[in-house]
Every structure is written in structure tokens, then in C-alpha cells.
Structure 1
Amino acid sequence: MGGQEGPRYGRIVAELRQRIETGQLAPGDRVPSTREITRQWGVAMATATRVLTELRHEGLVRAVPGVGTVVAERAVAPAGAAVVAPAGAEAERPVRAARVAPVVAVRAAEAGPGPGGLALGRIVGAAVAVADAEGLAAVSMRRVASELGVATMSLYRHVADKDDLLTRMMDTVIAARPLPDEPPAEWREAVGLAARQLWGLFRRHPWLAPALSMTRPQVIVSALPYSEWTLAVLHAHGLDLQTAFTAHLMLLNYARGIAVNLESEREAEAHSGLDSEAWMDTQEPALLTTLSSGRFPALSRLASAGYDLDLDALFEFGLHRLLDGLAPLLDA
């Protein structure tokens, strides 16, 4: 790093740190990306990457797959308390089984303690916490038992196997976000509400989308109201039940299709040590070399202008287009 880059690096870190500590950038807000830092402060990409790395090391920011780097939620929840994310943002990942959504405690009370005082809700809550923190691949009967401090075989008194546990995990997290009692009167608003709520669930639990199967759907009781909601709304506005259900599956798989990138990105980051922005930076020289041939003028112009991938914005763009496509059927 040159003599000019060093002082600039320190000033940029100090400025962004001040914005965060004074509340100009609130928890969940995006901080400038590496490309924005290079443009705004006129520094090299390596310096911009180092700035964000330093802020991550200080615990001030965190990387969210498909969104970018955001201000971290620095408050530490007490044991047994729920970690609540801002609306529309991915929840902070719990690190231990004690930090689970309130619904886990509710369902634990409903399930009641089994032999040895081990309740089904505690098992499911521990599994959800591990999946939220480390991904679905980290969930095993042995790992869940270890989190609870019990013998692995004791879990089988409550769940048949890992597939049964996974179904209960999905049921629990979906039940945590019930739909309103009544849908909005306007079909577009009602269908959009259900789709956005599903997207929020996928956001909070990145493992959920790849765990759901479209071709071999699991029986998840808490998910049925979502199907009933969309089916009833579209049927009430003129679609036959077959077409309405097809539209429901289309919207569900659209949200799920974007959301599967969340878990794969988390796995890639864990293996490479690079978040999506840092990885893209490593690919930029090869891309620019390819584009310099002149064969791809539109892509070249886009690369020059810059493009920040935002999965939330991508989801909203596609959802509006899908609803536009359904409109003529319902209007007819």
C-alpha cells in the first residue's frame, strides 16, 4: 500500500465508524460497498476491501448474502431471549441453542417434557438455532444432542429421524410468522403480502428454501395457510382452482428459487473466506479482459457503470412482473 493509501484507509474507517456509532447508519443499513468506496474516496479496490474487513473485525458490520455489507446488530441478547431483526432484514444468526424465536418456547410448552425432562420443543429449537447459525449441513442428531447436553439416543424418543426433525424445524419457523386473519380486499395486495412474507422467512432462515421440496412436498401444517390464502384469493377473483394453485406454486417457487442462493452463498463464504463482494473483486480482472474484446458492448457499458446485486430488489422486481402477468387472467 502506497504512502497516500495508508492515511486514506484510516480516515475512511474512522468516518464510517463514526456514522455507525452516531446512528447515521442504523443496524441493518447497507454501508458503502467496495466499489462505492473506491468511487467516493478515490482509493484502490484493495484499500476499500481492507476498510470493510477492518469494520467486520471490529464487529461493526456484517456481510449479508445477496444484500452486501450492513451495520451489525451489536446488542447481545440475554440467554433465552429472542434475537429480533428489523422488518425486511435478515435476522442476526443465533450462536447458541438458547437464542431461538419465541415460537420455539411456545411450542416447547405445548409439547411438554418427555422422559428425563427433555421436551420436543427444546430439540427443535436447538436444531433451528444450529441451522440458522451454521447452515443445514451442520444439523445432525449428534450435534443437536451435544447442544442440549444429552445422549444422542434420547432424541429418538421424540423424533423418528433427521427427516422428521427437519419437517418439525420448518413447521416451527413458518408458524412464527402467521398471516393476518383476513387478506386485503385487492387481490394484488393480498397475493403480494403472502409472497413477501415467505421471502422474509427465507431471509431469516437461509436453510429453509433449499429444505423445502417442490416435487416431494413435505406435510408442513403451518405452511398450509399460505397455500389456502393464495388459492382462495385468486379463486375469489375469477381463477379456477387448478389455475389458481398453479399460480400459487409459481409464486412460491419464484421466492424459493432466489432464496436458495442465500445458503449456497453462506457455504461458499465459509469455504473461501471471501464474501460475495470480495469474491467478485477477484473475478473482475478476468471479466474486464474478456469484455475488452468488444464482442459484448452492452455488458461492457454495464461493467463500466457498475452493478450491485441486491436480492431483495431482484425479488421485488420479479414479483411485480409476475403479478402483472396474472392481472389479465383475473381482469378477464
Structure 2
Amino acid sequence: MEEPPYRRIAADLAGRIASGEFAPGTRIPSTRQLIAEYGVAMATATKVLATLRERGLVEPVRGVGTVVAADVGRAPGPDRAQVVATAVATADAEGLHGLSMRRLAGRLGIPTMAIYRYVADRDELVMFMIDKVMADNPPPALTPERDGWRACLEAIARLQWAMYRRHTWLAEAVSFTRPLPAPHAMVHTEWMMRALDGRGLDLNAQFTAAVTVANHVRGTAVNRAEEAQAEQDSGLTDAQWLEAQEGRIGAVLADGRLPLLARFVAADDGVWNLDTLFEFGLQRLLDGFAPLLR
């Protein structure tokens, strides 16, 4: 028995969809076009489209016509965890400025607008990114009762410094004036406050002290983000850039008005880097807390 024309035509169109000739969202031939292309009656052309709709291969779109269904030929979409992990990896490689919804969608292999199935907007995406990094780096296994408040604050400050070193975009994303409600970031703050609890500080002082330490770490780490961007823009590492500035620095110091700076620059044992700035500042902060605590 000969196959009905509508089935033959439907099979032909299904094959063209499978081959990618008609991509998801692409309009397929209308009934009039099917009549002209295959030489069939209107009833047959109408049945072709109905068959394709029944198979889930096409869908009607008001004002457009019949188009290939959005999920045809696509693997199951990512979940939110995959979206956030990909966003973190993109920001790690290209900085926060290199992370756009279009760029992220491209890396995930989904339409740009599909990103909004997982996050409401870019701010929420960044909040989830912060929260993932914080969740991947829980507070240290120290207790103030066993290890002391200072050891606890030192440990979590160094943990956060290591986070900022691995994720240079993080310092740009974190804000202490308009903080995003990332639950695991709040866990870090709670843990720091707990290290100071019961030592004579009221809650406001505990919170302020905890945020002061976190802000020192973040404020120092902002320089790493700027450093990474400058290196990307100029193609020079910090060491190479400083070497290129030696002549200008020498000219400024040559007149003797800045003798201490001149001695520091000339000294063989002079040390200056962000790790030194972080560690020195952290110790002086903790020194300042000590008289306040029982």
C-alpha cells in the first residue's frame, strides 16, 4: 500500500529539521508553500503541519507562523548550579567585565534569553557566584574556645585572601555598602562575630570588627583585580611595568627631597607586594582589637 502523501512530506520535513536545515525557531513552509513545493491539495498540506505538531517538532507562533520547536535537537538544558559554575569560570578567565549574559549563554550553548530561566538579572547571577565561591570555602575548623579569637580571625582572613587571589573578580563583586544577600557570605560574617562573642563587645562592635577585617582583605584584593586588568590591557606584568618606570622614578628621587623613599628604593632588602600589605595590615588591625577584648 502506497504511503499517504502527507506522511511522506512530513517525513521529508522532519529529516530537514533533524539535519539542521530548519533550526529551532525557524519558520517552516506554510500550507501555501507546501502546496506549491509538493503539488498537493490544501487538505494534505494542512495535515502535514498537524502531523509535525503532533510529533512535537513544530509549534505555532502568533504573527509568525509555524516554526521549529525551541527544544528540538537540543540536549537537556543546564541546571542553575551549572549556570553559576560556568559564570564563575568565565569571570575567572576574563574578569567580571567579560561576563555578559550573551557570553555566558554562548558557553552554555543556550539562547541568551534562556539565562533568565535561572536568574532574574545580572545582580542575582553575581550574588549566586559570590555564594558559590563562599560555599566552596567554608570557615576554618577552628574555635575561639580552643584556638583563641585572634587565631580564628587570622585564619578566616587568610582564607578570604586566598579566595580573592583565585577569583580576582570577587573583590569587585563584593560590596559592604550594598551587600548582596549571599547566604554563605553571611556565614563567614557570623563565624567572625562568634570568634569575638563573649569578650566584652556589644553586637554592634562585634559586627563592625568582623566587617573591618573582611573589608581590609577585600580592599587590598581590589588591587589584584586592577593589576590583572592592567596586565591584560598593557601586556606587561607588574614587575615589567615597574622596570619600565625606573628612569622616571629615579628622576623624581634624584633631587633629594624624598630621602626615605630613595633609600627604600635603593635598598637590596626592600620588600613591597600585596601579600606584604595584606599581612602587615591584618596584624595591626588585630593588635588594635586586643585592648578591647577580655
User: Structure 2 length as normaliser, TM-score?
Assistant: 0.71
Partner of 1:68: none
Q: Does 1:326 align with 2:289?
A: yes
Match of 2:132 in 1: 172
Letter in 1 for 2:98: A
* Structure-1 residue corresponding to 2:29: none
One-letter identity of the residue aligned with 2:97: A
2:264 matches 1:302: yes
Shift of 1:117: 2.8
Higher relative contact order (CA 8 A, sep 6+): 1
Contact 1:187/1:237 (<8 A) preserved: no
- Give the aligned partner of residue 213 of structure 1: 175
The aligned counterpart of 2:204 is: 242
Give the 5 Å matches for 1:65-84: none
| CA positional deviation for 1:233 | 1.8
Q: Alpha-carbon deviations, 1:201-253, whole Å to 9, x = none?
A: 11111110111111111101011111111112212222111111111111111
Return the alpha-carbon distance in structure 2 between the equivalents of residues 302 and 145 of structure 1.
50
| Matched residue, 2:274 | 311
Q: Which amino acid aligns with 1:311?
A: L
AA at the equivalent of 2:283: H
Q: Mark the runs of 5 or more structure 1 residues left unpaired by the alignment.
A: 1-114
Q: Which residue of 2 aligns with 1:277?
A: 239
Pick the structure with greater CA Rg: 2
Please point out which of 120, 129, 136 is paired with 1:160. Answer: 120
Kindly provide the amino acid, as one letter, of the partner of residue 133 in structure 2: V
Equivalent-residue separation in structure 2 for 1:215 and 1:309 (angstroms): 30
Q: Match for residue 189 of structure 1?
A: 151
Counterpart CA distance in 1 for 2:164 and 2:79 is: 26
AA in 2 matched with 1:320: Q
What are the ranges of 5 or more consecutive residues in structure 2 without an aligned counterpart?
Answer: 1-74
Gap change, CA 1:180 and 1:267, over 3 Å in 2: closer
Displacement after TM superposition at 1:194 (Å): 1.6
Q: 1:302 to 1:182 in 2, by over 3 A?
A: closer
> Structure 1: how far apart are the matches of 2:236 and 2:217?
25
Distance between the aligned counterparts of 1:210 and 1:298, measured in 2?
34
Report the Cα distance in structure 2 between the residues aligned to 1:224 and 1:278, rounded to whole angstroms. 39
Q: Which residue of 2 aligns with 1:261?
A: 223
2:103 alignment counterpart: 143
Q: How far apart are the structure 2 equivalents of 1:167 and 1:237?
A: 33
Query: How far did residue 313 of structure 1 move?
Result: 2.3
- Residues in 2 aligned to 1:153 and 1:255: alpha-carbon distance in whole angstroms: 36
**1:161: Cα distance to partner?**
1.2
CA distance in 2, matches of 1:118, 1:228: 32
Alignment length, in residue pairs?
Answer: 217
Amino acid at match of 1:315: F
Identity of aligned residues (%): 46
Query: Does the Cα contact within 8 Å between 1:234 and 1:244 map onto a contact in 2?
Result: yes
RMSD: 1.5
1:122-152, Cα deviation, whole Å (9 max, x unpaired): 1111110011111110001100111111111
SS of 1:200's equivalent?
helix
Tell me how far 1:279 sits from its aligned partner: 0.6
Q: Counterpart amino acid of 1:166?
A: V
Question: In the superposition, relative to structure 1, how do residues 247 and 314 fare at CA in structure 2: closer, same or farther (>3 Å)?
Answer: same
What is the identity, as a one-letter code, of the residue corresponding to 1:161? D
2:236 is paired with a residue of what secondary structure? coil
